[in-house]
Amino acid sequence: MNRPLRVIIDPGHGGMDSGAIGVNGIQEKDVVLNLALALKHLNDTLGHPLDLFSTRTSDTLISLSGRSKLALALEADIFLSLHCNHSSNPKARGVEVYVYDKPNSNTDAATWLAFQIQERFNKRLGFKSRGVKFANFQVLRETSRQMLSILVELGFLSNSVEIRYFLKVKNTEQMAKQILLYLLRTFYFNS
Ligand SMILES: [Zn+2]
Protein backbone atom coordinates (compact mmCIF):
# COMPACT_ATOMS: atom_id res chain seq x y z
CA MET A 1 0.00 0.00 0.00
CA ASN A 2 1.57 3.29 -1.06
CA ARG A 3 -0.54 5.56 1.11
CA PRO A 4 -1.94 5.17 4.61
CA LEU A 5 -5.13 3.20 4.87
CA ARG A 6 -7.98 5.71 4.54
CA VAL A 7 -10.81 4.98 6.94
CA ILE A 8 -14.10 6.84 7.25
CA ILE A 9 -15.75 6.49 10.63
CA ASP A 10 -19.45 7.19 10.43
CA PRO A 11 -21.09 7.76 13.82
CA GLY A 12 -24.80 7.37 13.10
CA HIS A 13 -27.57 9.88 13.81
CA GLY A 14 -26.82 13.25 15.48
CA GLY A 15 -28.57 16.54 16.19
CA MET A 16 -32.34 16.13 16.26
CA ASP A 17 -31.96 12.45 15.42
CA SER A 18 -30.93 10.83 18.68
CA GLY A 19 -31.14 7.25 17.40
CA ALA A 20 -32.03 4.67 20.03
CA ILE A 21 -32.55 5.90 23.59
CA GLY A 22 -31.88 3.74 26.65
CA VAL A 23 -34.04 3.54 29.77
CA ASN A 24 -31.70 5.90 31.62
CA GLY A 25 -31.74 8.45 28.78
CA ILE A 26 -28.47 7.37 27.14
CA GLN A 27 -28.62 8.26 23.43
CA GLU A 28 -27.22 6.30 20.53
CA LYS A 29 -25.96 9.46 18.79
CA ASP A 30 -23.70 10.18 21.80
CA VAL A 31 -22.39 6.63 22.28
CA VAL A 32 -21.28 6.37 18.65
CA LEU A 33 -19.85 9.91 18.54
CA ASN A 34 -17.81 9.20 21.68
CA LEU A 35 -16.35 6.13 20.00
CA ALA A 36 -15.57 8.05 16.80
CA LEU A 37 -13.80 10.76 18.83
CA ALA A 38 -11.88 8.12 20.80
CA LEU A 39 -10.74 6.54 17.53
CA LYS A 40 -9.57 9.91 16.24
CA HIS A 41 -7.79 10.67 19.52
CA LEU A 42 -6.00 7.32 19.54
CA ASN A 43 -4.98 7.69 15.90
CA ASP A 44 -3.62 11.19 16.70
CA THR A 45 -1.73 9.83 19.71
CA LEU A 46 -0.12 7.11 17.60
CA GLY A 47 1.07 9.64 15.00
CA HIS A 48 -1.69 9.12 12.40
CA PRO A 49 -0.98 5.59 11.18
CA LEU A 50 -4.43 5.69 9.57
CA ASP A 51 -5.74 8.43 7.34
CA LEU A 52 -8.84 8.72 9.49
CA PHE A 53 -11.90 10.85 8.82
CA SER A 54 -15.25 11.07 10.55
CA THR A 55 -18.55 11.97 8.91
CA ARG A 56 -19.27 14.09 11.97
CA THR A 57 -17.20 15.23 14.96
CA SER A 58 -19.97 16.97 16.88
CA ASP A 59 -23.64 16.60 17.63
CA THR A 60 -24.93 17.48 14.18
CA LEU A 61 -27.19 15.61 11.80
CA ILE A 62 -25.78 14.62 8.41
CA SER A 63 -27.93 12.98 5.76
CA LEU A 64 -27.23 9.37 4.85
CA SER A 65 -26.33 10.39 1.29
CA GLY A 66 -24.00 13.09 2.68
CA ARG A 67 -22.14 10.40 4.62
CA SER A 68 -21.75 8.19 1.55
CA LYS A 69 -20.73 11.11 -0.64
CA LEU A 70 -17.93 12.04 1.74
CA ALA A 71 -16.59 8.48 1.72
CA LEU A 72 -16.72 8.35 -2.08
CA ALA A 73 -15.15 11.80 -2.52
CA LEU A 74 -12.28 10.83 -0.23
CA GLU A 75 -11.83 7.51 -2.06
CA ALA A 76 -11.77 5.69 1.25
CA ASP A 77 -10.56 2.14 1.66
CA ILE A 78 -12.86 1.35 4.56
CA PHE A 79 -16.21 2.79 5.63
CA LEU A 80 -17.13 1.94 9.20
CA SER A 81 -20.59 3.02 10.28
CA LEU A 82 -21.25 2.94 14.03
CA HIS A 83 -24.67 2.34 15.58
CA CYS A 84 -26.28 0.85 18.69
CA ASN A 85 -29.09 -1.64 18.79
CA HIS A 86 -32.40 -1.55 20.63
CA SER A 87 -34.91 -4.31 21.35
CA SER A 88 -38.21 -4.72 23.17
CA ASN A 89 -36.51 -7.68 24.87
CA PRO A 90 -34.35 -6.18 27.66
CA LYS A 91 -32.19 -9.30 27.67
CA ALA A 92 -31.12 -8.94 24.02
CA ARG A 93 -27.41 -8.15 23.91
CA GLY A 94 -24.28 -8.40 21.85
CA VAL A 95 -22.63 -7.07 18.74
CA GLU A 96 -23.74 -7.60 15.15
CA VAL A 97 -22.05 -6.37 12.00
CA TYR A 98 -23.76 -5.70 8.68
CA VAL A 99 -22.56 -6.01 5.11
CA TYR A 100 -24.51 -4.89 2.02
CA ASP A 101 -26.80 -7.69 0.88
CA LYS A 102 -26.21 -7.55 -2.91
CA PRO A 103 -22.94 -9.26 -3.80
CA ASN A 104 -20.18 -7.29 -5.51
CA SER A 105 -16.42 -7.59 -5.84
CA ASN A 106 -15.89 -6.30 -2.27
CA THR A 107 -18.42 -8.56 -0.56
CA ASP A 108 -16.04 -11.33 0.48
CA ALA A 109 -13.46 -8.93 1.91
CA ALA A 110 -16.13 -6.83 3.65
CA THR A 111 -17.71 -9.95 5.16
CA TRP A 112 -14.34 -11.06 6.43
CA LEU A 113 -13.70 -7.61 7.94
CA ALA A 114 -17.14 -7.69 9.56
CA PHE A 115 -16.47 -11.10 11.03
CA GLN A 116 -13.07 -10.07 12.40
CA ILE A 117 -14.38 -6.88 14.04
CA GLN A 118 -17.16 -8.88 15.64
CA GLU A 119 -14.72 -11.50 16.84
CA ARG A 120 -12.56 -8.81 18.48
CA PHE A 121 -15.56 -7.41 20.30
CA ASN A 122 -16.39 -10.92 21.43
CA LYS A 123 -12.97 -12.25 22.42
CA ARG A 124 -11.31 -9.06 23.66
CA LEU A 125 -14.23 -7.05 25.03
CA GLY A 126 -16.68 -9.76 26.10
CA PHE A 127 -19.61 -8.90 23.84
CA LYS A 128 -21.87 -11.73 22.74
CA SER A 129 -21.53 -12.41 19.00
CA ARG A 130 -24.81 -12.10 17.13
CA GLY A 131 -23.32 -12.84 13.74
CA VAL A 132 -22.50 -11.07 10.52
CA LYS A 133 -25.70 -10.05 8.76
CA PHE A 134 -26.60 -8.74 5.34
CA ALA A 135 -28.91 -5.78 4.75
CA ASN A 136 -29.81 -3.11 2.24
CA PHE A 137 -28.81 -0.13 4.39
CA GLN A 138 -28.39 3.07 2.39
CA VAL A 139 -24.84 3.87 3.51
CA LEU A 140 -23.75 0.33 2.65
CA ARG A 141 -25.58 0.34 -0.66
CA GLU A 142 -23.96 3.61 -1.72
CA THR A 143 -20.39 2.76 -0.73
CA SER A 144 -19.91 -1.01 -0.88
CA ARG A 145 -18.80 -1.19 -4.50
CA GLN A 146 -15.97 1.31 -3.96
CA MET A 147 -14.61 0.27 -0.55
CA LEU A 148 -14.95 -2.25 2.28
CA SER A 149 -18.10 -1.01 3.89
CA ILE A 150 -19.58 -2.33 7.13
CA LEU A 151 -22.06 -1.18 9.76
CA VAL A 152 -21.47 -2.17 13.38
CA GLU A 153 -24.33 -2.40 15.88
CA LEU A 154 -22.16 -2.12 18.97
CA GLY A 155 -24.62 -3.39 21.56
CA PHE A 156 -28.10 -2.74 22.95
CA LEU A 157 -29.28 0.46 24.60
CA SER A 158 -32.23 -1.59 25.85
CA ASN A 159 -29.89 -3.77 27.91
CA SER A 160 -28.87 -2.35 31.29
CA VAL A 161 -25.53 -4.20 31.35
CA GLU A 162 -24.51 -2.87 27.95
CA ILE A 163 -25.71 0.65 28.85
CA ARG A 164 -23.41 0.59 31.88
CA TYR A 165 -20.57 -0.57 29.65
CA PHE A 166 -21.07 2.32 27.21
CA LEU A 167 -21.19 4.91 30.00
CA LYS A 168 -17.57 4.26 31.02
CA VAL A 169 -14.96 6.30 29.17
CA LYS A 170 -12.42 3.52 29.71
CA ASN A 171 -14.63 1.10 27.79
CA THR A 172 -15.03 3.51 24.89
CA GLU A 173 -11.25 3.76 24.76
CA GLN A 174 -11.01 -0.04 24.74
CA MET A 175 -13.43 -0.32 21.82
CA ALA A 176 -11.43 2.29 19.91
CA LYS A 177 -8.20 0.45 20.66
CA GLN A 178 -9.53 -2.88 19.47
CA ILE A 179 -10.81 -1.45 16.20
CA LEU A 180 -7.70 0.59 15.48
CA LEU A 181 -5.18 -2.09 16.38
CA TYR A 182 -7.11 -4.63 14.36
CA LEU A 183 -7.02 -2.40 11.27
CA LEU A 184 -3.32 -1.66 11.70
CA ARG A 185 -2.35 -5.25 12.26
CA THR A 186 -4.40 -6.58 9.39
CA PHE A 187 -3.85 -4.02 6.70
CA TYR A 188 -0.21 -3.12 7.42
CA PHE A 189 1.41 -6.20 8.86
CA ASN A 190 -0.42 -9.24 7.51
CA SER A 191 -1.13 -8.28 3.94
ZN1 LIG B 1 -28.59 3.74 14.57
CA of 17 to the centre of ligand 1 (A): 9
CA of 84 to the centre of ligand 1 (A): 6
Query: What interhelical angle do 28-45 and 169-184 show, nearest 10?
Result: 60
pLDDT tens readout for residues 45-100: 999 999 999 999 999 999 999 999 999 999 999 999 999 999 999 999 999 999 99
User: Which structural domains are found in the chain, ordered by start?
Assistant: 6-190 (3.40.630.40)
pLDDT tens readout for residues 31-57: 999 999 999 999 999 999 999 999 999
CA of 4 to the centre of ligand 1 (A): 28
CA quadruple 33, 110, 173, 166: dihedral sign: positive
Check 96, 153, 162, 173 and give the catalytic one.
Answer: 153
- For the question of residue 119 being annotated catalytic, the response is no
